[in-house]
Structure 1
Amino acid sequence: MLTIRLPADIENRLETLSKTTGRTKTFYAREAILVHLEALEDHYEAKQRLADLRAVRPHGMTLEEALSHYWVED
């Protein structure tokens, strides 16, 4: 169970969408969470990987080192 408070303008938009489409506000709230959850997880994973990389290589790496390390070809 999850309870959230939304600003009035967002609540009104959600209510209008719900009435217009015949779907519940819960349906749209769930959809919004599902759509954005993966993006949020990816964002925080990328931030952690960057922090991990900077801990090992505080000055980064050259393009040539990156290409060699990740086996990227032209």
Structure 2
Amino acid sequence: MLALRLPDDIEQRLDRLAKATGRTKSFYAREAILEHLDDLEDLYLAEQRLTDIRAGRTQTVPLEDVMKRYGLED
């Protein structure tokens, strides 16, 4: 179960969309979350990796080395 507080203007837009389409507001909230969750997780992971690189906890590998390692050279 999830409860959300939305700004009034967003709540009104969501309500209008739900009424116009015969779907529930919960349906559209769920769709929005599912659509963007992967992107948010990827962004968080990228930010963590960048923090680790800057702090010296992780090292980078040149693209040329990766290509060579996996036989993807031209």
**Displacement after TM superposition at 1:53 (Å):** 2.2
- Find the residue that maps to 1:3 and give its secondary structure: coil
RMSD: 2.3
- After TM superposition, list the pairs within 5 Å mapping 1:8-27 onto structure 2: 8-27=8-27
In structure 2, the partner of 1:50 is 50
Whether 2:66 is the aligned partner of 1:66: answer: no
Partner SS for 2:4: coil
TM-score scaled by structure 2?
0.77
Q: Deviation at 1:73?
A: 4.3
Q: Are the aligned partners of 1:67 and 1:73 in contact in 2 as well (CA < 8 Å)?
A: no
Structure 2: 5+ residue runs without aligned partners? none
Question: Hey, what does 1:30 align to over in structure 2?
Answer: 30
Instruction: Mark the runs of 5 or more structure 1 residues left unpaired by the alignment.
Output: none
Sequence identity of aligned pairs in percent? 61
Q: Per-residue CA shift, 1:12-51, capped at 9, x if unaligned?
A: 0000000000000000000011111110000001111122
Runs of 4+ aligned residues of structure 1 deviating over 4 Å after TM superposition are none
